[in-house]
Amino acid sequence: MKTLPVRLLLLSLIGLTLAACSSENNEVVAVQQPKPVRLETVGVDAQLNSRRFVGRVDAVSTVDLSFQVGGQISELAVQQGTLVRKGELIAALDQSDFALAVREAEVQKDHAQKNLERIKTLVEKNMVSDSAFDQADTDYRLQSVALDNARRNLSYTRINAPFDALITRRLIDRFSNVQANTPVVRVQDVTELRVRINVPEGLIALIGMRNGFKIEAHSPDHPELIFPLEYREHATEVDRATQTYEVVFGMARPEEIEVLPGMTLTVAITRNGNEPLQLISIPVSAVDTDSSGSFRVWLYDAEKGVVSPKPVTLGALSGTHVPVLSGLEPGDTSVTAGTNLLSDGMSVRPFDHF
C-alpha cells in the first residue's frame, strides 16, 4: 500500500528532470542558430561617371573704375556692352588745370635748382654759411617732390582699361564734374569667363580626382559647339539651403557666339577613357565604427556563413548613401542593418522576409 506513492514521486522527479534537459537543449539550439542579417552587394555608382549641371557664366571680377583726382569729364566714348582691350582709354578729365600745375612745378624746380647752384658756389668761397646751403638743398628737394605730384595728378586724369574690360554700365555722363574716387564706369574682367556650378555633397570628393574627368560646356541654343573648361577653385563651406558646394571653372571667351556674364550653360562632366570610375557607394546604415571611432563595414563570407569587419574611407554623405573612397571592391557583400550587434566571426544567414 505504501509503495504506490513512492513510485508516483519517482515518476514525477524523472519527468521534471527530462523537461529541464529538454529546455536546456532548446536554449543551446537557439544560441547556435545563425543571426539573420540584411545583405547588399556592393556596386559601382554609375551616376559618378557622367553628370550634367546647369552652369552660370560670370566674369573673373567686377569693379567700379574712378578717377583719383576731381574734375570735369571730357572723354567718355565707351558704350555699354562693348569690350575695351587692356590699356585702351575708357575716360578722361579735362587736363588744362593739371597741365598748368605741372608747368608751374617745373618752373619752381628750375628756380630752386639755380638757387642751389648759386649757394653752393658761395659756400665754396666761404661767403655764406652751411645752413644756407642746407636750406637751398631742402627747397630744391621739395620742388622735385611737388613736380612729381603734379605729373602724377596729370596721369590720374585718364582711366585706361586695367584688363580686357567689358563695359557693363556708365555711371556718370560726359561733361559731368566728379569728385575724386567717384565711380565712373562699371567693368567686368573678361580675360576669361568663369562658369559656376553647384555640386552635391556626395560628389565633392571627386575634386581630388578632377584630372580623370573631361569637363565641357555648351549653350542650349548651340549644342553643336563644345567649350572646354578648366578647374579654378571650389567652396569649402556648404550652402545650407541646398547642401551643395560651388565649383568654379575657367573658359576661354568663344569667338563663335557671344557669351556674357549672367548667361547659363550646360556643363557635362564625364570620365576620361573607357574604364569606368570604380567609385562605389553604400547605404548609411551599413556604416559602423570601431572602438577608436574609425569607420568600418561588415563583410559577409558566403562560404563560411560568417561576418568580419573591414576598415573603409568614406566621402561626403549624399542622402541615404555615402561614397566609399577605399576599402571595398565591387562585388563585396556587406551587412546593411544591425551592424552594432555583430562581432568578428559571428555566424549569420541572409534575411529573406518576415
**Grid cell listed for 72:** 570735369
Do residues 244 and 194 share a domain?
yes
* 173 found inside a domain: no
Do residues 196 and 250 share a domain?
yes
Instruction: Show which of 113, 133, 156 is a domain's final residue.
Output: 156
For 301, the domain range is 35-47+278-350
Do residues 260 and 294 share a domain?
no
3-state secondary structure of 41: strand
Do residues 39 and 105 share a domain?
no
pLDDT at 335 over 50: yes
DSSP secondary structure code for residue 112 in this structure: H
Do residues 142 and 286 share a domain?
no
**Grid cell listed for 90:** 575708357
CA 113 from chain centre, in angstroms, equals 59
Confidence of residue 318 (pLDDT cuts 50, 70, 90): low
Q: What is the pLDDT of residues 221-276, one digit of tens each?
A: 888 899 999 999 999 888 888 778 899 999 999 988 889 899 999 998 887 765 44
Query: For position 110, which CATH number holds?
Result: 1.10.287.470
Do residues 315 and 341 share a domain?
yes
Strands (E), 67-111: 71-75, 83-84, 89-93
* 54 found inside a domain: yes
* 14 found inside a domain: no
Strands (E), 125-235: 158-160, 165-170, 177-178, 183-200, 213-219, 222-228, 230-234
**Greater pLDDT, 350 or 138:** 138
215, 231 Cβ separation under 8 angstroms: yes
* Domain count for the chain: 3
Instruction: Show which of 271, 300, 328 is a domain's final residue.
Output: 271
* 168 found inside a domain: no
* 220 found inside a domain: yes
Confidence of residue 352 (pLDDT cuts 50, 70, 90): low
* 30 found inside a domain: no
Do residues 144 and 289 share a domain?
no
**Predicted TM-score of the model (pTM):** 0.58
Q: What is the pLDDT of residues 85-130, one digit of tens each?
A: 999 999 999 999 999 999 999 999 999 999 999 999 998 888 888 8
Mean pLDDT score of the chain = 84
CA distance 294 to 28: 35
Do residues 54 and 194 share a domain?
yes
Say what percent of the chain tops pLDDT 70: 82
321, 202 Cβ separation under 8 angstroms: yes
* 72 found inside a domain: no
pLDDT at 40 over 90: no
140, 153 Cβ separation under 8 angstroms: no
Do residues 55 and 197 share a domain?
yes
Query: For position 54, which CATH number holds?
Result: 2.40.30.170
Query: For position 41, which CATH number holds?
Result: 2.40.420.20
Residues 6+ apart with CB under 8 A from 151: 102, 105
For the segment 286-297, the average pLDDT, to the nearest whole number, is: 89
Residue 323 is predicted with a pLDDT of: 75
Residue 44 is predicted with a pLDDT of: 62
Do residues 200 and 232 share a domain?
yes
* Number of CB atoms found within 10 A of residue 159's CB: 22
**Grid cell listed for 202:** 556626395
Range from 41-45, 62-66, 159-163, 309-313 carrying the lowest mean pLDDT: 41-45
Instruction: Show which of 111, 133, 156 is a domain's final residue.
Output: 156
Tell which residue, 14, 22, 100, 39, has the closest CA to residue 300: 39
Do residues 194 and 265 share a domain?
yes
Q: What is the pLDDT of residues 159-180, one digit of tens each?
A: 999 999 999 999 999 899 999 9
Tell which residue, 339, 323, 336, has the closest CA to residue 289: 339
DSSP secondary structure code for residue 207 in this structure: G
* 304 found inside a domain: yes
CA distance 184 to 78: 11
Do residues 116 and 126 share a domain?
yes
Q: What are phi and psi of 65, to 5 degrees?
A: -90, 145
Q: Are strands 50-66 and 183-200 parallel, antiparallel or unpaired?
A: antiparallel
